[in-house]
Structure 1
Amino acid sequence: MKKALFLLYSLVCYLIFFITFLYLIGFVDNLSVPRPLDLPEQASLPPSFAVLIDLLLIALFGVQHSVMARQGFKEIWTRLIPAPIERSTYVLFASVVLIVLFLFWQPLPATIWSITGPAADIVLSISFLGWGIVLVSTFLINHFHLFGLYQAYEHFTNKRRSELRFRTPLFYKLVRHPLYFGFLVAFWAAPLMTVSHLLFSISMTVYIFIGIWHEERDLSNLYGARYEQYKRATSKIIPFPRS
């Protein structure tokens, strides 16, 4: 019964994540969500306070992602949260932090640029391409393991717990972090760029590079010389050949 509850919990966490991810696409690309990033309404707070709140929301997102992903935190955390649902709980917390960001993001509607007509459709298509790269990248490295479902399934079926092997399929042969590259494309390919969107994109870009630094340190500790060789041979985030 406990194993079945763990699996059900992981499934619920995954569904919450998936809905949140779809909302994130609408939030960034201004598509059919109640409060998109480029909200046209008049700012209700002075710009300095709005910027402060938005930066605090981004910082909350960054701290949650970075701290809970570290191995030292996991060793402490799994004393409270059973290992089979540790990743699912991380995914749940990440989804909750994003939902908080959606709810409390403060609009800064001044326009930086606005692209209209066919060119806007092209730029939006590039953003969708970025989201597609994100999604495909998760499946290349085991989507369901990344979001916690596979760990709960292994526990439910009494399989020996597996760890992700070091592999470089498809996109990973061109760039070490195609998932982050996809996010950058999605965030910056904007037909309408307001101050809100610019603040979000800059802040997320800074966080992504901080996250890459932490992630690569963990991967080097985990895979050693093999990952160091991969780093020397493959571009970090912009796909271009390296000698």
Structure 2
Amino acid sequence: MNADTRRLTLALMFGAVCHGSFAIGVGLMMYHLFFGLSHGWGAVPWPYAGFANLVLLLQFPVIHSLLLTGKGREILALLGPDKRLSTTLFAMIAAIQLALLFAFWTPSGIILWQATGVAFWLMCTLYAASWGFLMLAIVQSGFQLQSGMLGWFAMARGRDPKFPDMPTRGLYRIIRQPIYAGFALTLWTMPTYTPDQLVLAVIWTGYCVIGPLHKEKRFSNIYGDRFRNFQKRVPYWLPFPRKSRDDKA
């Protein structure tokens, strides 16, 4: 096997594992959130299940945030056979983290609220809309980057990854962090509410509010005044209208 064939084979293998992991992780998240984590497959006995669930709950935001730091990106570049796979590995790791959480969560067995009748279909509609919002935000921010395709596809072509420009169109005209907002919406719009779901929703919503601050600092360093002007023009997380200078005068 020559070098080009080996490179292409490795790239395709990493791409297949990445997108397979992505589909499984997101699929498990969609399924288990819909039922308020009441259908989790974990079997840790209580009260130890509380600690096990907490570890599963925190591992995603902690590792996800660490891998987004400069040191984390250096580690990602060293994990694979080619540094161009770092974005692919990042998406793969995130997907595996989601799969672990939702597959091995031990449910409390308590149902706080179960929508029925019209309320059930209303919540189903809101849940589907939340996922639609999240997927649209992912596409508009650069689908290749967010899905992990950017790295393995660049390696397969023998080129360096070309990162997408700072997103400013579509949902990014309304708020600066639509991915985090959409992610949070999926945590609150299911037709089944449980203590499990509420703990997850509260902690992860907090992460969705605080987590992007590091991303904004990184964007400010990369794009400079262009991003700072974007910050002044577009709200952070909620679509509250910004006052113009004339309004403040």
Note whether the superposition's TM-score is higher than 0.5: yes
CA contact (8 A) 2:87 2:150 kept: no
Task: Give the TM-score of the pair, scaled to structure 1.
Answer: 0.88
Number of residue-to-residue matches in the alignment: 236
Relative distance call for 1:114 and 1:80 in structure 2 (3 A) is closer
Structure 1 counterpart of 2:53:
54
CA distance in 2, matches of 1:161, 1:188: 36
CA distance in 1, matches of 2:63, 2:135: 21
Structure 2 counterpart of 1:64:
63
CA contact (8 A) 1:10 1:85 kept: no
- What is the SS of the residue equivalent to 1:78? helix
CA distance in 2, matches of 1:52, 1:44: 10
Where do 5+ consecutive residues of structure 2 fail to align? 244-249
The one-letter code matched in structure 1 to 2:60 is F
Relative distance call for 1:142 and 1:85 in structure 2 (3 A) is same
Correspondence 1:82-161 to 2 at 5 A: 82-161=82-161
CA distance in 2, matches of 1:10, 1:138: 18
CA contact (8 A) 1:127 1:186 kept: yes
CA distance in 2, matches of 1:198, 1:167: 32
CA contact (8 A) 2:88 2:149 kept: yes
Post-superposition Cα deviations, 1:105-162, rounded to whole Å, max 9, x if no partner, equal 1212323333211111111211111111111111112212222212322232234431
Relative distance call for 1:149 and 1:16 in structure 2 (3 A) is same
Structure 1 counterpart of 2:73:
74
CA distance in 2, matches of 1:158, 1:139: 24
CA contact (8 A) 1:6 1:84 kept: no
- Report whether the alignment pairs 1:13 with 2:12: no
Correspondence 1:222-237 to 2 at 5 A: 222-237=222-237
The one-letter code matched in structure 1 to 2:78 is R
- Report whether the alignment pairs 1:24 with 2:21: no
CA-atom RMSD in angstroms: 2.2
Structure 2 counterpart of 1:33:
none
Task: Give the TM-score of the pair, scaled to structure 2.
Answer: 0.86
CA distance in 2, matches of 1:156, 1:197: 40
CA contact (8 A) 1:133 1:182 kept: yes
Structure 2 counterpart of 1:168:
168
The one-letter code matched in structure 1 to 2:57 is I
CA contact (8 A) 2:114 2:193 kept: yes
- Report whether the alignment pairs 1:207 with 2:207: yes
The one-letter code matched in structure 2 to 1:166 is M
